[in-house]
Amino acid sequence: MKPKYLILLAVSTIVLLLDQATKLYIDRTMDLHTSVTVVQNFFNITYLRNKGAAFSFLANFSYRLPFFILISLVAAAVILVVFHKLRDDQRFTVVALALIFSGALGNLIDRVRLGEVIDFLDAHWYEHHWPAFNVADSAICVGVAFLAIDMIIEERRQKGK
């Protein structure tokens, strides 16, 4: 098996296990809408359910569940197609896409299993809260940041040639 596929398998396995284990733990140990302060005025563990996408986008859309499932499946398929075309030396891009792929799958599992996504990471500054998120969301964000960094590096590399 090519190294890039081993990286995809390893990253996806780790992210999916961590994402699903933390969501299961939160679901079994906390009541919905309860919160535990971790760092005063900065970070809580707060059990929420999100029917929409980021920032509860489209939460009240009547066909939201089939829509989000379809979008997740299409995104995963596109990522795999792009992934397949990557060169073996594009390790940073491989990790970035693996993070995005596994994050999308983690939230897809919730949507199929529960009809919504469990969120619990609550970052805030006093009363100003960032929307709650989860491990899958974090993986997607880190993966996108890695892709942006990789694009900048690649652009500079091309200019240097």
Catalytic residues: 119, 137
C-alpha angle 35-40-45 in degrees, rounded to nearest 5: 25
Tell me the C-alpha distance between 68 and 2, whole Å. Answer: 31
29: number of Cβ within 10 Å: 11
Tell me the C-alpha distance between 65 and 45, whole Å. Answer: 26
**Residue 45 parent element (H or E):** strand 43-50
Spatial CB neighbours of 59, under 8 Å, sequence gap ≥ 6: 50, 51, 52
Tokens representing 8 are: 């995809």
Tell me the C-alpha distance between 24 and 78, whole Å. Answer: 28
Look-up: residue for tokens 């960094």? 149
